[in-house]
Amino acid sequence: MCGIFCSVAWGADIPLVFETDVLSRIKRRGPDYWFTRNIKLGASRHVCFACSILHLRGDRINSQLNTCGQDQSQSYLAWNGEIFGGYDVPLNKNDTEFLFELLNSVESDEDIVDVLRKIRGPWAFIFFQAKEEKLWFGRDVLGRRSLLWQFDKAEKTFKLSSVVDNDKSKWSEVPANGIFYLNLKYLTENPQFTCFPWSNQLGKVDDFIYFDVELDVRNEIKNPISNTLNKKLPSQDDLKSNDSFSKSAQFDKTMHDFIDVLRMSVKTRVENQQDICKCCSVVGSDISTCLHSKTGVLFSGGIDSSVLAVLADEFVPKTEPIDLMNVAFVRKFEKSEMDGEVPDRLSGRIALEELKLICPNRKWNFVEITVSKEELCAERHKTISPLIHPSNTVLDDSIGCSIWFAARGIGTIRLDKNHKQSQTYISTCRVLLVGMGADEQLAGYSRHRMRFANNGWKGLLEEMEMEMSRISFRNLGRDDRVIADHGCEARFPFLDENVIEFLNGLPIWFKANLNLPRGSGEKLLLRCASRVLGFDRVSSFAKKAIQFGTRISKIEERKQKGSDIMKESQEKLK
């Protein structure tokens, strides 16, 4: 995981300046290494690169800004991603180095695109192809890593970055609809961008570009997710009683196949990291391994996070604890709330007790992260708001703040069963498992029930397809930015390509049956799987949106809707 930045300027005497604020945010994303490069192309074209690295794979840290050739023929790669599949990356090799060698071994546009489309895993990248003077960039088809862009026609500048600078209004998400390049040989007042769009995408690429540029759209490239959503509608015979259907041999096999594919996704995301925690991985340290926690779970106690935790237990060494990050927001002056007795805290404790029974040999660090209104407002104004941008709704703010405090990992751990004694704890994990994608694919949101009530199975399928098509700019870029700010990498097991392909292939009634009540019908497949994995009470927990489960929405008493645009005045403590 890294922070990546690139600025292109054309025109006479353009200064090569890195803005302090954006660079400080880039550095926070990668605490293990920091690097910059300036390139001058001719008399009036300038390119600046900056990158920070969180070293998770390979024997050694490689500069993200790898070079090839001499002088002005150097190529550069800024890579924020993980190659989890599509290529066999040697265990001792950094995947950045591996990818850079592949990109430098080809020359044509089609070959570069072909290299990138085969990658399975989350990524965002910037690649300067020196020989052709082309600046390639883009995100994976789901947008699991943040990449923003800004084009200023008056100043003749173009910027790409994991995070925004102080001029927030000009930045927008790079669409996760394709792979782009800008030809730096032909920079004008209105330069032309070239895009190779992914196949099987809803909407056109230019529907997601919010500044005025020329766009040359080339032939589609094969979507790495090989199948689309199964839209078969159920017959009356398909909709048997819940008991008979869930006990059928066909459903039982499907459920175990689902557990297996999700298990492999968790395995990949747990094992592909260094054997050293955040605190022990100080640059220059001789320590190569430690017994501190390296893996955490964003943990509400719901079925998504609980299933991820129990599967992670299979692959994390038994000598290491696993951190369960549980967030609650309270009013400082209300003593009855100071223990953070919010819905997510209560369900988290119940899930913790079940985890202890299922995995008795694991030390679970249930990190109670209790945030006062005063601290929330201060950190939002100082740090979180720029990270959430360009996402800008009240809901984005609530979710972004909740996840930022969770990833920070500063809280307490209870020392006794009665939850009376506790000690301060700061998480040392560098990988955080997040349940994003379960609700979108298994009809877990309340809006799914509303659409089903109004438009039946067909409407539900349309809603689920729409949810997945917009997940890149609705959720994932924002979540990557707030989690990575703590030098911690977000990993999304439910959004593994193999998991998505498996779930896409299933008929809708295998995944959910919204004729059944809350706590039963939504995410039916996952609920049944959680019972097989050993959960009892957790398997019937109803969905709680994070803004309600953590009570962040309650302590501020906002009267706006979640879809309303955030006002800057709300970021300040009143």
Q: Which of 70, 84, 184, 166 is nearest to 126 (CA)?
A: 184
Query: Which of 42-51, 80-89, 333-342 is modeled with the greatest confidence?
Result: 80-89
Distance (Å) of CA 455 to CA 178, 447, 449, 508: 32, 12, 10, 15
Q: Which residues of 387-416 are buried (b: 16+ CB within 10 A; e: fewer)?
A: bbbbbbbbbbbbbbbbbbbbbbbebbbbee
Is the pLDDT reported for residue 339 higher than 80?
Answer: no
Going by pLDDT thresholds of 50, 70 and 90, the confidence category of residue 68 is very low
Report residue 340's pLDDT band, with 50, 70 and 90 as the boundaries.
Answer: confident
Query: Can you give the pLDDT at residue 361?
Result: 96
Edge to edge, the sheet with strand 45-53 lists 33-41, 45-53, 2-10, 157-161, 148-152, 172-173
Which residue of the set 2, 195, 429, 528 is catalytic? 2
E strand residue ranges, 246-345: 295-298, 322-330
Which pLDDT belongs to residue 152? 87
Model pTM above 0.85: yes
User: Is the pLDDT confidence value at 336 over 60?
Assistant: no
pLDDT at 3 exceeding the cut of 60? yes
Nearest to 392 by CA among 212, 559, 562, 207: 562
Express each pLDDT in 549-558 by its tens digit: 999 988 876 6
Q: What is the pLDDT of residue 447?
A: 95
Please confirm whether the linkage preceding 390 is cis (ω < 30° from 0).
yes
Measured N-to-C along each axis, helices 343-358 and 303-312 cross at an angle, to the nearest 10 degrees, of 30
Buried b or exposed e, range 239-272, using 16+ CB within 10 angstroms: ebeeeebbeeeebeebbeebbebbbebbebbbeb
| Residue 569 identity (one-letter amino acid) | S
C-alpha to C-alpha distance for 259 and 255, rounded to whole angstroms: 6
Per-residue confidence (pLDDT) for residue 71, from 0 to 100: 43
Domain extent listing, the chain: 3-217, 236-281+290-554
pLDDT at 206: 66
String of DSSP letters for 347-377: HHHHHHHHHHHH-TTPPEEEEEEEEEHHHHH
- Best CA proximity match to 389, nearest among 171, 573, 149: 171
Would you say 219 and 261 are in contact if contact means Cβ atoms under 8 Å apart? no
Q: Average pLDDT in the 85-106 region?
A: 90
For β-strands 123-129 and 134-139, DSSP reports them as antiparallel
Sheet architecture: strand order including 192-197: 76-81, 123-129, 134-139, 178-183, 192-197, 214-217
Question: What is the structure's pLDDT at 331?
Answer: 86
Does 3-217 match 236-281+290-554 in CATH topology? no
Least Cα distance to 433 among 294, 288, 291, 320 occurs for 294
Q: Average pLDDT in the 160-175 region?
A: 88
Domain spanning 236-281+290-554, CATH class: alpha beta
Q: How confident is the model at residue 491 (pLDDT cuts 50, 70, 90)?
A: very high
Q: Please determine, for residue 125, whether its predicted confidence score (pLDDT) is greater than 50.
A: yes
> Is 3-217 a domain of CATH 3.40.50.10790?
no
Size of the chain, expressed as the number of residues it contains:
574
* Residues facing 80 on adjacent strands: 124
Non-local CB neighbours of 202 within 8 Å, separated by 6+ positions: 465, 466, 469
Please say if 290 is a catalytic residue. Answer: no
